[in-house]
Amino acid sequence: MKVTLFATCLVDMFQSNVGKATVELLERLGCEIIFPESQVCCGQPAYNSGYVRESKEAMKRMIRTFQNAEYVVSPSGSCVAMFKEYPHIFKEDHEWGLLAQQLAEKTYELTQFIVDVLHIEDVGAQLNGKATYHTSCHMTRLLGVKSAPMILLNNVKGLEYTELPGKEQCCGFGGTFSVKMAQISEQMVDEKVTHVEETGADYLIGADAGCMMNIGGRIDRTGKPIKVMHIAEVLNSR
């Protein structure tokens, strides 16, 4: 099975280890990975800030980049949710709307792809310790991926899972929200870190790089002894 990797901006620029873990994991599960170097931002930050016309240029480039892919897989529920929004954005343009629909239909978040397409629930991962999981807003509310991460995490040998209090609450990142509303964002992430501490977890696991960067940065600045890991890294642990 050929899988084209949609790495995302944050993974490419700040968390290349997540991209590496994603590739190694999928290859171990029998996938051939293709990485088109022409990929850019999906357009979400600009689009959410109201720059619809400008963001469409980036979207068109992404549509062209992944046009011939068999499957498109990304370690980011938020960015995959943006791809799913493309058909709505281009609904008045027949040509681009059709291409956008084709892209949306073959694009999957990493855990969703493993469970729903590969039909694998145990990837043979092992990580000893106590963990909790942050359910990111876009992945759960927009993309609708809720069960796949938990199915896979529950089969990681040595991992003791504790549910995160207030798991449905935003961490305060929200893309440009954390820049425009910095003081509110800080209070939100502080509340999230407090809830993580309450679990006594050694690891905070998540599936969106933006959330992990936001929460992880706050944990580091406050000196908390909690390791933040993307679920791709956890599932690639042996």
Q: List domains and CATH numbers for the chain.
A: 2-116 (no CATH), 121-235 (3.40.50)
Strands 71-74 and 2-5 come out as parallel
Cα 115 from Cα 151, distance rounded (Å): 8
Q: Which of 127, 166, 155, 145 is nearest to 75 (CA)?
A: 145
Check residue 172 and give its pLDDT: 84
3-class DSSP state of 109: strand
Check residue 168 and give its pLDDT: 87
Mean pLDDT by 10 residues, the chain (238 residues): 95 93 98 96 92 95 98 96 97 97 98 98 98 94 95 98 92 78 87 95 94 92 94 97
Sheet containing 2-5: order of strands: 32-34, 2-5, 71-74, 107-109
Cα 83 from Cα 77, distance rounded (Å): 10
For the record, the structure tokens of 97 come out as: 């709307």
Cα 28 from Cα 173, distance rounded (Å): 32
For the record, the structure tokens of 66 come out as: 């992944």
Check residue 112 and give its pLDDT: 98
User: Given the structure tokens 């016309």, which residue do they identify?
Assistant: 53
Check residue 59 and give its pLDDT: 98
Check residue 179 and give its pLDDT: 74
Cα 89 from Cα 86, distance rounded (Å): 5
Check residue 113 and give its pLDDT: 98
